[in-house]
Amino acid sequence: MASLQDQLLKLQSDQPSSNSQEEATAFSRVCAVLKRVGLDPEEITPDTVLEDAGVDSLDRIEITVRLEQESGIELHDADVFPARTVHDLMQLIDQ
């Protein structure tokens, strides 16, 4: 029989890390918001460049409002406008 320490180590390695769970949650929230502004969630990755995906300045305003609603975090246009990629948006709501 494996020691308790070995069993705990196995459990930890079998479970996704909280960081990867948090990233998955942030990614799904950002995807939900981007879907509302007309992007196809199937084509979105963390590396998707917002401008290349067709996100314009009006979309960024809507993204700001919807990310606030989705995450409960107060954001400002100045926070969202410099975001270049989906990953940048994920970091905003993951702070």
Per-residue pLDDT tens digits for 40-60: 988 999 999 999 999 999 999
Which secondary-structure segment (H or E) carries 6? helix 4-14
User: What is the DSSP code string of 23-80?
Assistant: HHHHHHHHHHHHHHTT--GGG--TT-BTTTTT--HHHHHHHHHHHHHHH-----HHHH
Please indicate, yes or no, if residue 4 is contained in any of the structural domains.
Answer: no
Within a domain: residue 46?
Answer: yes
User: Is 60 inside any structural domain?
Assistant: yes
Q: Which domain holds residue 72?
A: 21-94
In a domain, 45, yes or no: yes
Query: What CATH number corresponds to the domain at position 30?
Result: 1.10.1200.10
Predicted pLDDT at 74: 93
pLDDT at 25: 86
* Low-confidence residues in the chain, pLDDT < 50: none
pTM: 0.75
DSSP state of 15: S
Structurally, how many domains does the chain consist of? 1
Question: So what's the pLDDT on residue 45?
Answer: 92
Q: Residue 73: inside a domain, yes or no? A: yes
In a domain, 48, yes or no: yes
**Residue 87: per-residue pLDDT:** 96
Q: Is residue 25 one of the residues assigned to a domain? A: yes
pLDDT score at 61: 94
